[in-house]
C-alpha cells in the first residue's frame, strides 16, 4: 500500500516528510513540484530527533506525472490543493472518479467544511473528510479530523487510526464549524489581544510576553482545561468552577469585540516590528523549531500527560 499526497506545497511537502519518516511509501502529484528531496533532507535531523526514521526514503518516494498514477493502489489520499473552491472542486471531482470506493480522501483544508468537500464528489462523498494539520506538519503533531453528516463513521475511525499510526495526534471534531477547532481557539485569544492593543491597555510585546512567559508554558504541556483542573488542587475543576466561576463569567463578559480595521492592523504590525527590533526573523523561526523539537522529545518521555 502507498499513500498518495496530492499537492506538494508547504503543507504537502510536510506530509511527505512525516509519512516517509514513519515508514510509508509515498506517491506525490503536483504539476509544479520542485526540490522535494531537498525538503526531506532539510527536515531529517528534526524528524529523527522525534522518533522518525528516514532510512531508505529515496526508494519509498515517487513523483507521479499524472493524478491517476499517484492514486493507483493508494490506501489513503491526503489532498493539499489550493484553498480556492473552484480549483478544489475540480481536483476532488477527479479524485472521486479515480480513487476506489472505501479509500479515504482527506483534505488539509483550513477553511472548507467537509459537507462542502463531500458535495464536490458525486460517486463516494461518504469517504471525503477534513484532515487538517498544523505547520510544520512534521513537527506539530495535531491533525483535526472532521466528517460531514454523510461521512461513513467507519472511515472516520480508519482515518484516526491511520494518523495515529504515522505519528500524529488526531482529534475528532464532531460538528462542522468555520476554522475547525484549534484555529477557533487561537482566534479567541487573538480577539482579546487585538482588543487590548486597540484600547491601549497593553502593547504587542506585553501581550506576547504574558503568554510566552506565563500560561503558554503550561499550555504547551497540557491543555487549558486540564491546567485549570490542576489549579484547583484536590477539588480539581469542580472546585475552580464553584469558587471562581462567577469571576470567570465577569471576565468573559468583559472581553473585547474588536473590528480588524486597517488602523488596528497597522497598530498590530508596528507593535510586532517594535517587539522584534533588529532580530533576524529566519533565525527566530529556527530557534523556535529547535526548541519545539526539544519540548516534543521531552514530552514523549512523560508517561502521565494525556
Which cell is 272 given?
A: 510586532
Q: Which DSSP category does 72 fall into?
A: T
Give kind and range of the element (H or E) at residue 173: strand 169-173
pLDDT at 243 over 90: yes
CATH topology of domain 182-300: 1.10.1040
pLDDT at 150 over 90: yes
pLDDT at 34 over 90: no
Mean pLDDT of the chain: 96
Predicted confidence band at 166 (pLDDT cuts at 50, 70, 90)?
Answer: very high
pLDDT at 242 over 90: yes
Identify the pLDDT of residue 50: 95
CA distance 153 to 114: 13
Residues 175-179: contacts with CB under 8 Å, at least 24 apart: 176/113, 176/114, 176/115, 176/146, 176/148, 177/113, 178/111, 178/113, 179/110, 179/111
Identify the pLDDT of residue 60: 98
Identify the pLDDT of residue 286: 94
CA distance 167 to 99: 24
Looking at the chain, the whole-number percentage of residues with pLDDT higher than 70 is 100
Residues 105 and 95 sit within 8 Å (Cβ to Cβ): yes
Class of domain 2-173: alpha beta
pLDDT at 33 over 90: no
pLDDT digits (tens, 9 = 90+) for 270-294: 999 999 999 999 999 999 999 999 9
Identify the pLDDT of residue 46: 95
pLDDT digits (tens, 9 = 90+) for 16-30: 999 999 999 999 999
pLDDT digits (tens, 9 = 90+) for 174-196: 999 999 999 999 999 999 999 99
The mean per-residue pLDDT over the stretch 52-80 comes to 97
Predicted confidence band at 1 (pLDDT cuts at 50, 70, 90)?
Answer: confident
Q: Structural domain boundaries of the chain?
A: 2-173, 182-300
Which cell is 144 given?
A: 483535526
pLDDT at 159 over 90: yes
Amino acid at each position: 500500500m502507498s499513500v498518495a499526497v496530492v499537492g506538494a506545497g508547504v503543507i504537502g511537502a510536510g506530509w511527505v516528510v512525516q509519512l516517509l519518516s514513519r515508514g510509508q511509501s509515498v506517491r506525490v502529484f503536483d504539476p509544479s513540484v520542485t526540490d522535494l528531496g531537498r525538503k526531506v533532507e532539510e527536515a531529517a535531523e528534526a524528524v529523527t530527533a522525534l522518533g522518525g526514521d528516514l532510512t531508505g526514503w529515496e526508494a519509498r518516494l515517487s513523483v507521479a506525472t499524472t493524478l491517476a498514477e499517484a492514486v493507483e493502489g493508494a490506501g489513503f489520499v491526503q489532498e493539499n490543493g489550493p484553498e480556492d473552491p473552484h480549483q478544489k472542486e475540480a481536483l476532488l471531482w477527479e479524485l472521486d472518479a479515480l480513487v476506489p470506493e472505501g479509500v479515504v480522501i482527506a483534505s488539509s483544508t483550513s477553511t472548507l467544511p467537509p459537507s462542502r468537500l463531500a458535495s464536490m464528489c458525486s460517486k463516494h462523498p461518504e469517504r471525503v473528510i477534513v484532515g487538517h494539520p498544523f505547520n510544520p506538519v512534521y513537527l506539530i503533531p495535531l491533525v483535526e479530523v472532521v466528517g460531514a453528516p454523510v461521512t461513513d463513521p467507519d472511515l472516520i475511525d480508519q482515518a484516526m487510526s491511520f494518523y495515529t499510526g504515522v505519528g500524529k495526534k488526531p482529534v475528532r471534531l464532531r460538528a462542522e464549524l468555520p476554522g475547525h477547532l484549534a484555529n477557533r481557539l487561537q482566534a479567541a485569544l487573538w480577539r482579546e489581544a487585538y482588543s487590548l492593543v486597540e484600547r491601549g491597555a497593553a502593547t504587542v510585546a506585553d501581550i506576547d510576553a504574558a503568554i510566552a512567559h506565563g500560561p503558554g508554558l503550561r499550555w504547551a504541556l497540557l491543555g487549558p482545561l486540564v491546567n485549570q483542573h490542576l489549579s484547583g488542587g484536590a477539588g480539581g475543576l469542580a472546585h475552580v468552577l464553584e469558587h471562581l466561576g462567577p469571576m470567570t463569567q465577569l471576565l468573559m463578559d468583559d472581553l473585547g469585540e474588536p473590528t480588524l480595521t486597517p488602523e488596528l492592523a497597522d497598530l498590530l504590525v508596528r507593535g510586532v516590528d517594535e517587539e522584534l527590533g533588529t532580530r533576524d526573523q529566519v533565525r527566530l523561526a529556527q530557534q523556535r523549531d529547535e526548541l519545539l523539537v526539544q519540548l516534543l522529545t521531552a514530552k514523549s518521555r512523560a508517561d502521565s500527560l494525556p
